[in-house]
Structure 1
Amino acid sequence: MDKVPKNKNKNLLLLIYLSLVLNLITAPLALFIGGMATDSPDSTQLDFLKGFLFIQAIPLFILVIFLAWYSIRKSKYAYAEIAFFVCYHTRYPYCLDI
């Protein structure tokens, strides 16, 4: 049965944690820039969102990439376990000899 190597799983979780920390560090600056973008009297919520995402877009993109990578790796190994279980409990003992 294929298992996720512990080293690679820990490294990927470390990257996810680092991207979360990066998001937490940049969030106050993004809120400040978003607030400064709404300084004029005719500004809207869209101006705040533009200012916020100007700072926060790259860290959020990094977080989404690492979360997608983590879920793909987990699902790939989950499907391998299901295939092993199905092949192991059928009448065909040689289906794992691929």
Structure 2
Amino acid sequence: MAEVEDEHTVNKKGQSEYDKEKIKKIWKEDFETLLNETDTEYNAEDVNVTYEDRVITTPTSDEFLKILKGFKNGRAPGSNGICAEMLNEGGERMQEQYYME
């Protein structure tokens, strides 16, 4: 595999660096900066999450049908053995039955 001759990066002054050792040093410094950043504005006490915010509600019948339409055909069935084609082609009765489970 041929090496790319014009590998470079840009230093903090906006200048291109082509020297491999300088490139390594720039990347190392950038990653260390990213890894050591702390978010001083975040305070866990400021986050007010209520029980209602975390409750997942059952979708309405209309939402369920919209979800079904988004399923892609030709995929493996779920753990219950039902695939998207069965639900979409099974008609309203099949969809209602599955929704009621």
Superposition TM-score tier, normalisation by shorter sequence: under 0.3
Query: What is the TM-score normalised by the length of structure 2?
Result: 0.27
Larger radius of gyration: 2
